[in-house]
């Protein structure tokens, strides 16, 4: 008998080896994907909303205290406000306004609708109005993750953490409270340093970023 193995056996052994190597590579790729995805999943953990928003108390005028700069607010340099009121169709009328660099006012009207009627803390907002209809498919999420018991301030978030707002009934909030709100945002997966304080008519903010707030001792 020849000492040379049957070529079919050699081919079979090679196929087995290739199969084992391929399996190892697949396992390695999956492990790497899991390692990369883990922090992303953690960063995108579901937002924890407040238990309940009383819409009648929530409506009215809110001042923007701090925000993550976004392209749709690029014209705003100070005095950014939001005015909410109940609409006849059951939706919330939204009017956002701010002061431009030239001193003029910029206004835009939209609509908000409730996504979670149990808490009223999850809404969708749209500023696209075509053919008599507000197109929420082009809207954005509006999630209330913090709310003062007396409705003096609110934390509004977006699931992506790319957008966020600190709102208040007054144009400013105490530094100690701002620092506390920064901690609440951090607990929900936000970077407080991403929030820029909004200049107001009565003067510049106490610091450029939320994380730069100096808390009095």
111 within 8 A of 126, measured Cβ to Cβ: yes
Biggest CA–CA distance in the chain, Å, is 101
Task: Provide the pLDDT for residue 123.
Answer: 98
Task: Provide the pLDDT for residue 13.
Answer: 53
Task: Provide the pLDDT for residue 204.
Answer: 80
Structure tokens at 204: 């510049």
Q: Would the pTM count as exceeding 0.75?
A: yes
Task: Kindly tell me if the per-residue pLDDT of 27 is higher than 90.
Answer: no
Task: Provide the pLDDT for residue 175.
Answer: 94
> Tokens 């929030």 appear where?
195
- 55-64, 105-114, 204-213: which has the minimum mean pLDDT? 204-213
Contacts of 75 (CB under 8 A, 6+ apart): 98, 100, 101, 106
The dihedrals phi and psi of 121, each to the nearest 5 degrees, come to -95, -10
Q: How far apart are CA 190 and CA 182, in angstroms?
A: 9
Cα dist. 31→23, 25, 54 in Å? Answer: 12, 10, 46
């Amino acid at each position: 008998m020849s000492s040379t193995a049957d070529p079919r056996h050699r081919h079979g052994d090679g196929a087995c080896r290739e199969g084992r190597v391929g399996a190892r590579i697949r396992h390695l790729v999956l492990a790497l994907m899991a390692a990369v995805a883990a922090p992303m999943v953690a960063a995108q953990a579901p937002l924890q909303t407040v238990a309940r928003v009383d819409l009648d108390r929530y409506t009215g005028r809110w001042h923007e205290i701090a925000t993550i700069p976004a392209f749709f607010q690029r014209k705003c340099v100070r005095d950014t406000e939001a005015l909410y009121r109940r609409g006849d169709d059951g939706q919330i009328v939204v009017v956002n306004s701010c002061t431009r660099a030239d001193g003029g006012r910029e206004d835009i009207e939209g609509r908000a609708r409730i996504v979670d009627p149990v808490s009223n803390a999850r809404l969708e907002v749209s500023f696209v109005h075509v053919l008599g209809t507000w197109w929420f498919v082009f809207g954005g999420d509006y999630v209330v993750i913090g709310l003062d018991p007396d409705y003096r301030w609110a934390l509004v978030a977006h699931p992506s953490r790319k957008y966020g707002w600190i709102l208040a009934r007054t144009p400013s909030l105490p530094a100690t409270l701002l620092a506390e709100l920064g901690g609440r945002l951090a607990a929900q997966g936000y970077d407080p340093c991403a929030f820029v304080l909004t200049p107001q008519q009565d003067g510049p903010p106490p610091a450029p970023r939320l994380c730069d707030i100096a808390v009095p001792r």
